[in-house]
Structure formats: C-alpha cells, structure tokens
Amino acid sequence: MAVMKSVTIELPAHFHDVAREVAESEGSSLQAWCAKALQGHLLGLAAAAEADWEREHPAERAAFYAEREAEHEAMYAQLAAEDQPRHDEGGQA
C-alpha cells in the first residue's frame, strides 16, 4: 500500500470555488478531486518523458520491445505446450 502524505495548497478564490463545484458535481471531496488531478498531471508528465526518451533512443527502444516480444512468445509457447493433451506411451490421451 502506498504511503500517503498531506500537502497544503493555496489557490486563487475563483479556482478554489470552481474546483469545489466540479468535485461536488462528480460526487467527490475537494481534497480527493485535487489529489486525483495532481496524480493525473504527474502521470501525464511521466508518459511524456518516456515518449521523449523513446524518440531520442530508437535503438534502445527497439531492443526493449524486441526483448519483451520474445518474452511474450516464450510465455505463450509454454502455455500452449501445457494445454496440449498428454499422451501415454501407447498414444492414448
């Protein structure tokens, strides 16, 4: 479970009122709505940074995806092998 910490923010009165109204219209508290908005913003920044890195490092990106694809293929092959009917020495299932 994630460790939660408190933060205090100051907003212009208008932003505070609008955020509170939006939170209430979504059935949320202002605190929960602000936390969700901040998390969404931080996740967006992380995704943008990852996309930038992938654009700047095409060889590493290709190697990563090739390795991941090989891992998936090996996993699917193992699952397919496990799903095959087992035969005894006489050829009977």
* pLDDT for position 69: 97
- The per-residue pLDDT for 90 is 56
Higher local confidence (pLDDT), 48 or 89: 48
Nearest to 2 by CA among 35, 51, 37, 47: 35
Tens digits of residue pLDDT in 7-50: 999 999 999 999 999 999 999 999 999 999 999 999 999 999 99
Global confidence as pTM: 0.62
Question: Which band of pLDDT confidence, cut at 50, 70 and 90, is reported for residue 84?
Answer: confident
Domain segments of the chain as ranges: 18-83
Residue 4: strand, helix, or coil: coil
**3-state class of 48 per DSSP?**
helix
Three state DSSP letters for 11-30: CCHHHHHHHHHHHHHCCCCH
Identify the sign of the CA torsion 30, 34, 40, 44.
Answer: positive
The answer to whether 55 and 47 have CB atoms below 8 angstroms apart is no
